Structure 1
Amino acid sequence: MSAETTQSISIPTDAQLRQRGVQRVLLITLLLNLAVFATKVVLSITTGSLSLMADALHSVADSASNILGLVAMRLADPKPDWDHPYGHAKFESIGALFIAAFLGIACLEIVQSALSRWLDPESGLELSVDALTFKLMVGVLLVNIGVTVYERWRGKVLRSPLLLADARHTTSDVGITIAVLLGLWGVQQGWLWLDTVLAFPVAVLVVWSAWEVLQENIPVLTDRVAIAPESIYKVAMDVEGTIDCHAISSRGIVGQRVFVEMHLVVEPLDVESAHRISEQVELALQDKYGDVRATIHIEPYDYIEPFDADSPPS
């Protein structure tokens, strides 16, 4: 192989491989969610079930969140460019917030359907449910559970807030499907109230899932501290040649990419030796926390500022 051919081969970075992995998971779950949606629509038409139709509409939100996730990951290119020197990773958290919005919309649909059924309990009298319908709905339930487990597993492996948020969204769909199954069984037994009562706990589940998504992603978008300053201080001070470390700040996601800024005082007086120590500090941070991009400001030898973890960087 020639030198020119070798140079033309582009080896993807870990961040790019992670991005492709997230996109692959989203595509697989999108296809499964579309199959689930089609099944629910057919069953709602053949049975005349309003709850099944509402469940099918919720599956539209599942598919929409997958499409949104694919778009967000397309934009969340880990490589920096002229307009985004820190990369595009926050687009992934923005996509997760939209999924939280979908969860909120699904919750409103559930409550509205439950109230309508409560005010008009005879709306389910025309339901026609047979054994095949229950078998197909159980199959849909198993698919939803499989998607949830698979997406959560891959989300943890790839450290993707988007996949974890979407897995919670699918979890809410599992709860809704269980409620629909129990509700249909109750209607079949003449217990119309059962379908209505079960809708409210499902709504609580959806709200809780949305709240967890917000809790995980808002800190990233607001640049909350990624690594405790005292932890960074300890790592820096363990490097031979450092005298003091202060004005420490960090942001990002540990395991993906973290940006660290600090002021450093070192023993050597020459620039070359001081620069070498600053590189050793950055390598030490990378060994402990993964992908870390550190901006280190070297200060004069006799300048020492007491470290205070409670004070913001100056």
Structure 2
Amino acid sequence: MVTDNRFQVRRVLLVTLALNILVMAIKATIGLLTGSLSLLADALHSITDSANNILGLVANHFATPKPDREHPYGHQKFDAIGALGVAAFLGIACFEILKGAIDRLLTGTQEISITASHLWLLLVVLGVNIFVAFYERSVGQKIGSSILIADAKHTMGDVWVTMIVIGGLVGIWSARNVDLPQLQWLDVLLAFPVALLVFQSGWDVVRENLPWLVDEIAIAPEAIYEEVMQVRGVRNCHAIASRGIVGRQVFIEMHLIVNANDVETAHQITEAVEDRLEQRYAPVRTIIHVEPPEYMSQYISYDADPGHK
């Protein structure tokens, strides 16, 4: 049975939304005061953090695992759609960062006026980012929420971005002491790896959630076959199909031949198969089509045999 964890997800998203707005405001303020392109780009990245939280709250509202008449397989794909929305925001952020960096290269850099107080405040921001990332990932893994795990990955990318930006700003701040004005270009140059990290975060989110949306195979049919054939009374298992994501929700279909001469015994065997698959891959919804012995087949995968019934 799938557990409805939307309340926990909503609570985490509200907490992280408040923290992300605070982080974004601090980065944007310091970026405007100092004229740092890389820090303004990082603030843009943080804006997407807040937007992702809002998107996650909306998606989470619709992502109930309980089926109804209109959605007999539940609503959990809304969760994956929300995660892909996160990736879309990341793509926009990547484009804006690259555009700003190229414009600065073409028009010339400007002096960055960073102070020690600014740097200490950015270190506090970094600590908040780290807390948010680990908090979301911990809860997301515990309750199996793709939107929280996806957002944690995004926030972890923000941590690395902020570390790179702070490192560059420390170099620019130190340039005054060593009389190296060329270090001002660090701000522009660091905007490019920031964009690459943002793009990588978005790609990871797409790669992890697309299989759910396109009904990619969830479990190798050979693995399901091995589990089912260990159930007493099963003679043959074929035409196996599965979709979903293990640990979140899996749907399995199969054709089964059993050692039974009456419906009641056949039903007991199919229930034993369902229980075994539930213990191994929970949560699972299994559909079993019982067939007579003459329909026995060596083709494990669904539709591998064009003549299967």
TM-score of the superposed pair, with normalisation by structure 2: 0.90
Question: In the alignment, which of 278, 286, 293 is matched to residue 294 of structure 1?
Answer: 286
Structure 1 counterpart of 2:49: 62
Give the letter for the 2:63 counterpart: A
Q: Residues 258, 15 of structure 1: CA spacing in aligned structure 2 closer, same or farther, 3 A cutoff?
A: same
Separation in structure 1 between the aligned mates of residue 151 and residue 160 of structure 2, nearest angstrom: 15
Structure 2 counterpart of 1:30: 17
Structure 2 counterpart of 1:15: 3
User: Which range moves more in the overlay, 230-239 or 188-197?
Assistant: 188-197
Q: Tell whether the 8 Å contact from 1:15 to 1:256 is kept in structure 2 after alignment.
A: no
Give the letter for the 2:50 counterpart: S
Structure 1 counterpart of 2:155: 170
Separation in structure 2 between the aligned mates of residue 142 and residue 286 of structure 1, nearest angstrom: 41
Coordinate RMSD, CA, aligned: 1.9
User: Which range moves more in the overlay, 88-97 or 111-120?
Assistant: 111-120
What's the CA shift for 1:197?
1.8
Q: Tell whether the 8 Å contact from 1:121 to 1:192 is kept in structure 2 after alignment.
A: no
- Of all paired residues, the percent bearing the same amino acid is 52
Q: Tell whether the 8 Å contact from 1:121 to 1:193 is kept in structure 2 after alignment.
A: no
What's the CA shift for 1:141?
1.0
Unaligned runs of 5+ in 2: 176-180
What's the CA shift for 1:232?
1.2
Q: Tell whether the 8 Å contact from 2:136 to 2:152 is kept in structure 1 after alignment.
A: yes
Separation in structure 2 between the aligned mates of residue 138 and residue 197 of structure 1, nearest angstrom: 21
Q: Residues 275, 252 of structure 1: CA spacing in aligned structure 2 closer, same or farther, 3 A cutoff?
A: same
Separation in structure 2 between the aligned mates of residue 195 and residue 179 of structure 1, nearest angstrom: 10
Separation in structure 2 between the aligned mates of residue 141 and residue 225 of structure 1, nearest angstrom: 39
| Count of aligned pairs between the two proteins | 299
In the alignment, is residue 158 of structure 1 matched against residue 143 of structure 2?
A: yes
Structure 1 counterpart of 2:185: 193
Give the letter for the 1:111 counterpart: L
Of structures 1 and 2, the one with the larger relative CO (CA 8 A, separation 6+) is 2
> Which digits, 9 at most, give the CA deviation of each residue in 1:101-151, with x for residues without a partner?
1111111122112212222333x22x4322211111111111111211222
What's the CA shift for 1:179?
3.1
SS at match of 1:248: strand
Separation in structure 1 between the aligned mates of residue 172 and residue 147 of structure 2, nearest angstrom: 37
SS at match of 1:265: strand
Question: In the alignment, which of 69, 72, 83 is matched to residue 85 of structure 1?
Answer: 72
Structure 1 counterpart of 2:243: 251
What's the CA shift for 1:218?
0.7
What's the CA shift for 1:309?
3.8
> Which digits, 9 at most, give the CA deviation of each residue in 1:39-91, with x for residues without a partner?
22332343344443333222111100001011111110110111100000111
Separation in structure 2 between the aligned mates of residue 276 and residue 196 of structure 1, nearest angstrom: 68
Give the letter for the 1:142 counterpart: G
Give the letter for the 1:28 counterpart: V
Question: In the alignment, which of 256, 269, 272 is matched to residue 264 of structure 1?
Answer: 256
> Which digits, 9 at most, give the CA deviation of each residue in 1:6-60, with x for residues without a partner?
xxxxxxx7521x3322222212111110111222233234334444333322211
Structure 1 counterpart of 2:215: 223
Q: Tell whether the 8 Å contact from 1:246 to 1:306 is kept in structure 2 after alignment.
A: yes
Q: Residues 310, 14 of structure 1: CA spacing in aligned structure 2 closer, same or farther, 3 A cutoff?
A: closer
Structure 1 counterpart of 2:128: 143
SS at match of 2:3: helix
What's the CA shift for 1:312?
4.2
Q: Tell whether the 8 Å contact from 2:87 to 2:206 is kept in structure 1 after alignment.
A: yes
Give the letter for the 1:261 counterpart: E
Separation in structure 1 between the aligned mates of residue 171 and residue 105 of structure 2, nearest angstrom: 14
Separation in structure 2 between the aligned mates of residue 268 and residue 149 of structure 1, nearest angstrom: 52
Give the letter for the 1:100 counterpart: A
What's the CA shift for 1:252?
1.1
Separation in structure 1 between the aligned mates of residue 129 and residue 292 of structure 2, nearest angstrom: 60
In the alignment, is residue 114 of structure 1 matched against residue 106 of structure 2?
A: no
What's the CA shift for 1:241?
0.8
Separation in structure 1 between the aligned mates of residue 2 and residue 266 of structure 2, nearest angstrom: 30
> Which digits, 9 at most, give the CA deviation of each residue in 1:214-270, with x for residues without a partner?
111111101011111111111111111111111111111111221111111111111
SS at match of 2:70: coil
SS at match of 1:262: strand
User: Which range moves more in the overlay, 154-163 or 255-264?
Assistant: 154-163
